[in-house]
Amino acid sequence: MEKPPAVRGLSPFAGSRWLPLSVSLLLILVLMLVLLESLARAQAESERLMLEMTLRNINIGLQAAKGHALARGREHDIPAWAGQNPLRWLDGELRDYRGECPDGGLGLQPGQWCFDPVGGTLVYATRSADYVRDRNGDPMPRLRWRVGVPAGTAGGSGGLLALQVEPLEPVFWEIPGLMSVFRP
């Protein structure tokens, strides 16, 4: 009598290729999700830095314009600058600037700028709206700045020289791992 062939001690999944394939696909999917989230955070941080640099450049241009006005004896013109378009002091063009927007910037696409002549504000539509919050934690799809004298500044020529571009309300960038407050 012949002996039956020996039964090997194989796993029930040994002949199947679906388990290693599904594990590999799951790992790739998790890795892609982590990379996409990291990319979104990096884009939000770069947008925050771009805004900070742009507003610094505008304020530097405003300071230079005040210096020119003072040197020419035209300091009486400076008070009229409050509420004007701050891009007039920015050397060069601002990328994605759409000009005047009497609708308050409601028609802006993400990443675009405009000046609202009615409110005297510079408006920016955020690309990273999920990461930008007001002091109550509500999303801020539009950020606004105005040329004015900072609160708490002395009047007279001291207040006049303090004229700068200021945000209308504080903006909080809630980027995971980076709890930063945006103050131009």
Is the distance from CB of 164 to CB of 151 less than 8 angstroms?
no
Torsion angle of the four alpha carbons 57, 63, 66, 67, in this order, in degrees rounded to the nearest 10: -120
State the average pLDDT for the chain. Answer: 81
User: Is pLDDT at 74 greater than 90 in this prediction?
Assistant: no
Please report the pLDDT score of residue 9 as a whole number: 56
**Mean predicted confidence (pLDDT) in 84-112:** 84
User: Is pLDDT at 13 greater than 60 in this prediction?
Assistant: no
User: Is pLDDT at 19 greater than 50 in this prediction?
Assistant: yes
Q: What would the pLDDT profile of 111-136 be if each residue is shown by its tens digit?
A: 999 999 998 999 999 998 888 888 88
pTM, two decimal places: 0.75
Q: CB under 8 Å to 114, separation ≥6 — which residues? A: 97, 98, 99, 100, 101, 105, 108, 122, 123
